[in-house]
Structure 1
Amino acid sequence: MQAVLCKAWGLPETLVVEDLPDLVPGPGQVAVDVKAAGVNFPDVLIIQGKYQFKPELPFTPGSELSGVVRAVGEGVSAVKPGDRVIAFTTGGAFAQQAVVPQQAVMPMPPGMDFDTAAAITLTYGTSHHAVVDRAALQPGETMLVLGAAGGVGLAAIEIGKALGARVIAAASSEEKLAVCREHGADATINYAKEDLREAIKAATDGKGPDVIYDPVGGEYAEAAFRSIGWRGRYLVIGFANGEIPKLPFNLMLLKGASVVGVFWGEFAKREPAANGRAMRQLMGWMAEGKIRPHISARYPLARTAQALEDMAARKVTGKVVIQPGS
């Protein structure tokens, strides 16, 4: 089988594709023929050694996948060879085969295609944990989403609407904002052209948003926080901009506001039962048509580096997937 390998920390161009022996599952493990693998911003950081954890070199990146079970290890009873599954793992998805722990595997809902199935776990899991669990967004509240056209941003928009909130999407181009409106945004802000604080004030009648969802960081964070409403919750998702903001603590005091950290991967590991409930709710919303992943591009395994370069350059709208068999 073929797999992408990271042999040294570096940019996507340093990745290689090599032939490796077929994988054999150990006890409690499931071997999957990978049909699609989702690409996420943490993948860009992991291969550079800049993420919260560092895999041992060499390794295959990629953390979410869909495919068909090829074999199961001793003690596995929840799935069997031939089953269509979704899996989340710490690595190994950018390959034609992957081995994952049985607790990280769930059946694919009937009628779902592989690309969609590979685009759910990390983005929608992150946004559900952020919006539902950490922010406790309520019907009738207002949420501002920064970097709203990215994978987690679009997921946050859809989840906010599923909860009955009003959602304001902020992004850097009219093309990206059009996608946000297609996914339910009630209002939009082009922060490349508009003054962010004035635009937020206008969009909220001066009250400010109840929740701010920020996967970007950088220069817009302080302006957004200064605009937050009373008892607002500022969700720290990540730093796609590359710059970690430094917020003055007096801003939290003046607004009675909270800065709330969101680390879905650790949540899923520490609280698997709660994560399972979240995933079931997401699958239910998908069946009802309330959420629908936006897949903007598909890449063969040989072009994985290009997919990651596009992600790093913030050229991606919604999700992109790797198709190892193409």
Structure 2
Amino acid sequence: MKAWQFEGTGKPISLNDIPEPQPGPGEVVIDVKAAGLCHSDIMYMQVGEATMPFLPMTQGHENAGVISALGAGVEGWNLGDVVGVCTSGARPPAGMFTPGGFADKFLADARDLARVPEGLDLALAAIATDAGMTSYHAIIEVGGAAAGMKVGVIGYGGLGQFGTRAAVLAGAQVHVAETKDSVWDLARAAGAVDVVRDAGEWAGQGFDLVVDYAGFDTTNKALEAIKRGGTVVQVGLGKSTFTVNTPTMLGRTLVGSLGGTVQDIEKVYALLLAREIEPEYTEIGFDEIGAGLERLRRNEVTGRLVARFGD
């Protein structure tokens, strides 16, 4: 079968022929139908050689498709079931520490499967497994966004668009900071009451919660925006390090959020099916994944890129 693989730092992702996976106990094989492209893919192409357990590594951690083989002991799932795969569940993260879904077939732990409801487009099902899950978990489950809260969202990209809408649906007053003004109208349409270019403009404005989906040394700006007793949730990994002014931390909470759960994915699936969340995304073909990652690197993508392939 074909797979897009990372072969080493400084090298472009390569389309290679590899053996088809075989399911072991508790595992399933999925015929991949859609796979999202993420900035984390770019990050791991920059530093992955030092962290990945082996090379080449098939990338792709936002995956949805159809179960085509069952390992011994798998219960509750059948051949032909349509599923998404949680990226932070029982199995180490796909595309980073285990082979991912930029391939014709993908091996998954059955405990990491989320059932895709009938009628939900598989492109949406794929991007909900990371962009949807991670953003929802950070702003709702970790941040606790709720009615009456003043909430800031830093970065209106693949994750920020989900997080913004989830907080709006929870009844929060949501403000967005985004450098790309071409997406400001999308943020307003999702329910944001205000959009600014720089989160530094929020200093001293008494936010209850700020979720940083960007991570381009924006964390201190988030801390300066929240009131004493407020919370900043760090999600974005735009840069590997950031600077925080120590006095700004006093009386405030800074917490990181990584991934989410199968239950988070299924909650996002329900919101997508009801069209309560309508994320911006662009479809490409399987053979365009390499070029699509380069578009991401150049910051030429609005929302999310998702590769659709198979019948």
Distance 1:280 1:324 in 2: 23
- In structure 1, the residue matched to 2:263 is 277
**Letter paired with 1:174:** D
Partners of 2:143 and 2:52 lie apart in 1 by 29
* Structure 1 residue 94 corresponds to structure 2 residue 102: yes
The TM-score with structure 2 as length reference comes to: 0.89
Is 1:302 the counterpart of 2:287? The answer is yes
Alpha-carbon deviation of 1:103? 0.9
Q: Unaligned 5+ residue runs, structure 2?
A: 88-93
% of aligned pairs identical?
A: 28
Asked if structure 1 preserves the Cα contact closer than 8 Å seen for 2:120 and 2:272, the reply is no
2:248 counterpart residue number: 251
Q: 1:304 to 1:152 in 2, by over 3 A?
A: same
Question: Does structure 1 retain, via aligned residues, the 8 Å contact 2:37–2:305?
Answer: yes
What are the residue-to-residue correspondences of 1:206-225 with 2, within 5 Å?
A: 207-225=205-223
* Aligned-partner Cα distance in 2 for 1:278–1:52: 31
Q: Does 1:260 align with 2:255?
A: yes
Q: How many residue pairs get matched?
A: 301
Which residue does the alignment assign to 1:179? 186
Distance apart, 1:248 and its partner CA: 1.4
Q: Counterpart of 1:271?
A: none
SS of the residue aligned with 1:31? strand
Q: What is the letter of the counterpart of residue 7 of structure 2?
A: K
Query: Is 2:1 aligned against 1:6?
Result: no
SS of 1:99's equivalent in the other structure is: strand
| Among candidates 116, 132, 136, match of residue 140 of structure 2 | 132
CA offset at residue 247 of structure 1?
0.4
Alpha-carbon distance between aligned partners in 2 of 1:299 and 1:27, rounded to the nearest angstrom = 34
After superposition, the C-alpha distances for 1:217-250 in whole angstroms (9 at most, x for unaligned) are: 335433342222232211111222x352210121
Aligned residues: CA RMSD: 2.2
Maintained 8 Å contact 2:29/2:69: yes
Q: Following the alignment from structure 1 to structure 2, what is the Cα–Cα distance between the partners of residues 141 and 162?
A: 12
* SS of the residue 1:48 aligns to: helix
Q: Is the 8 A contact 1:42 1:51 kept in 2?
A: no
The counterpart of 2:59, out of the listed 58, 61, 68, is 61
State whether residues 28 and 75 of structure 1, in contact with CA within 8 Å, keep that contact through their aligned partners in structure 2.
yes
Between the aligned partners of 1:164 and 1:143, the Cα distance in structure 2 is 10
Amino acid at match of 2:169: A
Q: Is the partner of 2:284 in helix, strand or coil?
A: strand
1:1-326 equivalences in 2 (<5 Å): 1-10=1-10, 14-50=12-48, 53-89=51-87, 90-91=94-95, 92-148=100-156, 150-191=157-198, 196-197=199-200, 199-200=201-202, 207-240=205-238, 242=239, 244-253=241-250, 256-264=251-259, 268=260, 275-295=261-281, 297-325=282-310
State the Cα distance separating 1:50 from its structure 2 match: 4.7
- The CA deviation string for residues 238-285 of structure 1, in whole angstroms up to 9 with x for no partner, is 222x352210121121xx211111122xxx5xxxxxx24333332333
With structure 1 as the length reference, what TM-score do the two structures score?
Answer: 0.85
Q: Find runs of 4+ consecutive structure 1 residues off by over 6 angstroms.
A: none
**Distance of 1:233 and 1:86 partners within structure 2:** 31
- Mapped partners of 1:200, 1:49: distance in 2: 33
What's the counterpart of residue 272 of structure 1?
none
Distance 1:67 1:280, change over 3 A: closer
Distance 1:138 1:107, change over 3 A: closer
In the superposition, relative to structure 1, how do residues 285 and 323 fare at CA in structure 2: closer, same or farther (>3 Å)?
closer
